[in-house]
Structure 1
């Protein structure tokens, strides 16, 4: 089994280096992520290239690097075939599948659909090409999946399709990539049970996947055929609880409904996942006083900047530090420069020392890519008749 680190989850260089030091490959979905993976020292043969848009330049580079490409649609298939023809190469490829597993909402916008026959048409098209060889199948059935039966059914469906594809075009599927989607111990908004009650353990996901895979490939072992290599692209479950946001209280107010409102020095520009989760928030020291229902507002001048809409906390004085936990997934990749500068990110090393892995922003950081036209650099303030400056 291979784990491929999905860069879109968290592409802080230090985090990516840890993943690769632990043996993870790289899973990328853009030119930028591909370049970053190579810069991190990942060889092309350990890069999985997914996503609905892959530029021609990126595809050429990936083919030269022997990266594994999962095709998303027919136009991409034709582009890869033409590139391979121009390079006089036979390129090994995978195709992304989508299907109804009965437990999650189908992600039909990605890949080739099995039920309507498009996936098999893609197989036949590749089988008829002199420059393409089908060696892999890929699917990703969703995000924050709480029912492990979804993975068991995903594996069963993919293995059945693998057998059908191998019969149709006499190929050998050597890679079975089932994507990610494992949940972390965050509390989804709208679900009232605690994460400890509803989020499966990693071992439960693993058992569902491996039991289904053994059953679906038992005939291959009996026939002496090699088993496909299983690839997981798990991101959230790996990194989410490894990062937290430290913030401070900057103000308090009493809301019209009687609840307390607390203003923090961090906003949703740093904590994008506050729109999805009721993050756990903890004071960094024991506090006296009676806890009450509190709304935590961010620092941005916009009404939707709400870090937590309802949480019981003791009285919080100005300057009180709070820790918001499980923020490692999709915050450092989807955060935005808006109104406030983004702060330092630090990493606590195994030896206990602290390292800055991303420096805080400042004005020069934000303006480094801007250019003011010469005609706008010296603005003459036009004075209106009757003003005091006249």
Structure 2
């Protein structure tokens, strides 16, 4: 018996030694790929340089992804067990669907045990980030930066209109969409027949789907019906659309995002627009462009309590990589490190994926948006989700222009949802 136990102990030691050897035998070179703006705004070059300094002998190569249209090429390569990228950044977890259905990605939780290390537990992350990176209940995408919809406010305009909460030293938060309309009406200024100051811009361009989800979540606390299917049908939602149409007709709600998705952000950071309803980070752009203290955050009805619409840039690791552990380590130390997470927050107005870095925020409004983001929802993980970004805004624009009735608008929105492939990937 003693001899048997000795043999078993020796075998266990040998197996342990083999596992260590395998880890050590990983190639000490990884390639990280992302869009040019991601490389810049996440400080990836700086993260790579520091990682190489901290780990002598390791090489981190950075490549620029031209666009997401090239992603199918990677699927083909990965299916053949080949890859020239070890960490790939994508701006929407739905873009990873083509890889998930073929089991081409590592699951950060089950395969890589990513959340077991201190400081990287799930509770350490911003809620909407993890949610956005989850497909089929598995963490295929690791959030790196996050964003959430809110109401960006021009401070001077809000104070002049009597819409400043002195106790909170922050803009007054509207309780209803009628309030939003009244605020915009007070803020709207016309001089010599021309708009001098735009009351409000609501994102009604190609990102209208995000505005609808954000508004519905805020008002009703959910974007799903009793069967768990996306639905915009509610009395609150219908009332909101009526308010939108009234504001658009009077001009206090601008239609400028119809033709240019970025028009609202541009007019807000130029000081022309007083209220901007889209991604909350836009207030930072105004602060940078017009001076510190120019802008701050509020939220549309219910958004602070119930959440909004959020999304993230996530990192994925292909199973074809020869260095999965090194890739995961770079994500932890580099992309989720203090320099990248704090820099993207304070310099570029992107929320960190790790909640602890909000403590390093230079502007207090980030704590406000953190609360909103923690309760927010993201794009439903449907196979047909792309229809939301291509088919909803023409419907809403037609209603705002009074080309269709409210009932017709709601019917058309529902028809898009009904036509979508809603099964999981």
TM-score, normalised relative to structure 1: 0.29
* Higher fraction of helix: 2
TM superposition score normalised by structure 2: 0.27
User: Of the two structures, which has the highest relative contact order with CA contacts closer than 8 Å and spacing of 6 or more?
Assistant: 2
Larger radius of gyration: 1
Q: Which structure dedicates a bigger proportion of its chain to strand?
A: 1
